Homo-oligomer: A and B are copies of this chain.
Amino acid sequence: MAMKHAASSALRSLLSPSSTFARNLHAPAGKKKIVGVFYKGNEYAKLNPNFVGCVEGALGIREWLESLGHQYIVTDDKEGPNSELEKHIPDAHVIISTPFHPAYVTAERIKKAKNLELLLTAGIGSDHVDLKAAAAAGLTVAEITGSNVVSVAEDELLRILVLVRNFLPGYHQAVNGEWNVAGIAHRAYDLEGKTIGTVGAGRIGKLLLQRLKPFNCNLLYYDRLRMNPEVEKEIGAKFEEELDAMLPKCDVIVINMPLTEQTRGLFDKNRIAKCKKGVVIVNNARGAIMDTQAIADACSSGHVAGYGGDVWPIQPAPKDHPWRYMPNHAMTPHISGTTIDAQLRYAAGVKDMLDRHFRGEAFPEQNYIVKEGQLASQYR
């Protein structure tokens, strides 16, 4: 990974004692090759002028980038050695991707990416990048922190309601010409009065708890860090020090933590068994936090009364993934963070961060996932 620009290299040694990690602290000058990996819009691309998050919309920054003389490649073709992404890896300076259609930036790809400086996640969650390899290579990885937290929190509440209220069997009856109230009502509940625990209470978890407050539920949260007493009081949620002590109390469990080495497979067969029989689980965080088969088995046995989420261990999810056909699920493709409103926010965030990168300015501190060889605290 040879340094290419003497000037920026000199700047870097001024700014950082450890030049190994400084490849991208500030952008080398010159024209860049930027690769964006997004989902395809196809026939939907032209239906909404604000639909900027698809390949065709290209975050609405093509004109701006090209006016600055940069090259901007956009594709959805991301898997395997013959993919469009793979072709551009060797000389890309910046790769932008999203959690919805993630460009998996593996250690192998990082090794090939001789020019790479910056990996931007349009959205939240950069686990599609091998963060250790990125750190070792001196790359910067950054997210548009906050761009879609509201979108995800709203969707979590939606899925909680869909499952607790047993909405989908009723919808199927409506569509299929049926009318069987008992088939819905015998397992439909109010949310009011139930105990809801969030596993992780960062930005999204807090927004969810705030939205749950008027529902008169019993709110619990488990996190590495306890909120300060004022915030805790305002939100009205009780801190739980031990995850395994919280789980059996919950009628509804919501996952709000990043995928890390510590959280991968956290909800395995044993941990699911600790949950109350009839629990509802909502996971819009990352699919791999769950043991896939353990969730499918618990839905089939009825121990888990409902599982909902928009994240899958690999995305796009294979056609035969068990979460597609297990009973009582409320699954969708990865969608909660890519509403039109979210797209407009993360597109604006990407533009701002590219602008900073080109000017050699720092990003807002909370946006860094890997900076100068260090992983952000939540990924350590």
Contact = CB atoms under 8 A, between A and B. Distances in A.
A189 B341 CA distance: 6
A310 interface: yes
A185 B341 contact: no
Given A158-B167, A174-B333, A332-B173, A183 B150 contact: no
* Most interface-central of A44, A54, A329, A334 (chain B CB within 10 A): A44
Interface string A287-324: 00000000000000000000000100001110110011
A191 interface: yes
A48 interface: yes
Given A173-B332, A179-B333, A154 B215 contact: yes
A161 interface: yes
A185 B340 contact: yes
A180 B51 contact: no
A181 B39 contact: yes
Contacts of A340: 185-189
A190 B333 contact: no
Contact of A170 (B170, B333, B342): B333
A51 to B, nearest CB: 5
Interface string A333-349: 11110111111000000
B339 A188 contact: yes
A211 interface: yes
Interface string A145-187: 0000011001101100110010110110111011111111111
Contacts of A39: 180-182, 185
Contacts of A158: 158, 161-162, 165, 167
A210 interface: yes
A174 B324 contact: yes
B324 A171 contact: no
A139 interface: no
Contact of A341 (B42, B175, B192, B333): B192
A47 interface: yes
Contacts of A180: 39, 42, 333
A100 interface: yes
A373 interface: no
A307 B242 CA distance: 43
A185 B339 contact: yes
What number of copies of this chain does the assembly contain?
Answer: 2
Contacts of A170: 310, 332-333, 335
Contacts of A64: none
A32 to B, nearest CB: 27
Given A40-B182, A158-B165, A177 B319 contact: yes
A149 to B, nearest CB: 11
B190 A324 contact: no
A69 interface: no
Contacts of A187: 47-48, 340
A258 B281 CA distance: 36
Contacts of A100: 181, 185
28 contacts: A39-B180, A39-B181, A42-B180, A44-B186, A51-B182, A51-B186, A150-B192, A151-B190, A154-B161, A154-B165, A154-B190, A154-B192, A157-B161, A158-B167, A165-B336, A170-B310, A170-B332, A170-B333, A171-B331, A177-B319, A180-B333, A181-B335, A181-B338, A185-B343, A189-B340, A190-B341, A211-B214, A213-B214
